[in-house]
Every structure is written in C-alpha cells, then in structure tokens.
Amino acid sequence: MRTPDVDDGPVFLEADAEDRDRYGRLLRYVYVPAEDGSMTMVNRYLVEQGYAEAGSYPPNVRHQGRAVCRRRERRYRSEPGLWGSCR
C-alpha cells in the first residue's frame, strides 16, 4: 500500500457516534483519495504500518470490525515492517 498523502490534497473526515472523547479530543476517521480513485483510510494505514495502536471506545465503534481491530493489529505485529522491528 502506498503511503497516503495527507499534506497536499483533499482530506475527508468522518464522524462516529460522538464528536469528542472524554478528554475533549476531536474524534474522526481520516480518508484521502488513492491513485485508483478509491479512498484510503489513514487510521487503518497507521495501524497496519505500526504507527498507531488499535482502540475501540464505545459508542464510537463504527469501523471497529475493519479499521481498528485488535486482531488485525496483532497480525501486523507478526509481519515485517515497523511492528516486526519490535521483536
């Protein structure tokens, strides 16, 4: 997967059940257009590459099954890449 470019193009934000968490942080899923015309979910990319940990905080669980799933995070930790360097 090519690194999503969040600097120079449009960025699309998607809200979940709540606007902010209990600490006042804005909660959003972040998307950027991919070269093939599809949308790349930046949140998922960050977990896959080992730059973020998956988390699920009800009621904000819209993409729990595909974007920020702990099972997926464990799988990526066992593969080469940033997570693989932590062995």
| Average pLDDT of the chain to the nearest whole number | 78
Rounded CA-CA distance 34/11 in Å is: 11
Low-confidence ranges of the chain (pLDDT < 70): 1-2, 65-87
pLDDT at residue number 12? 95
- Could you report the per-residue pLDDT of 36-59, keeping only the tens digit for each? 989 999 988 888 887 887 777 889
Paired tokens of 43:
């949140």
Paired tokens of 33:
């257009």
Instruction: With CA atoms as reference, report the closest residue to 68 among 39, 41, 38, 43.
Output: 43
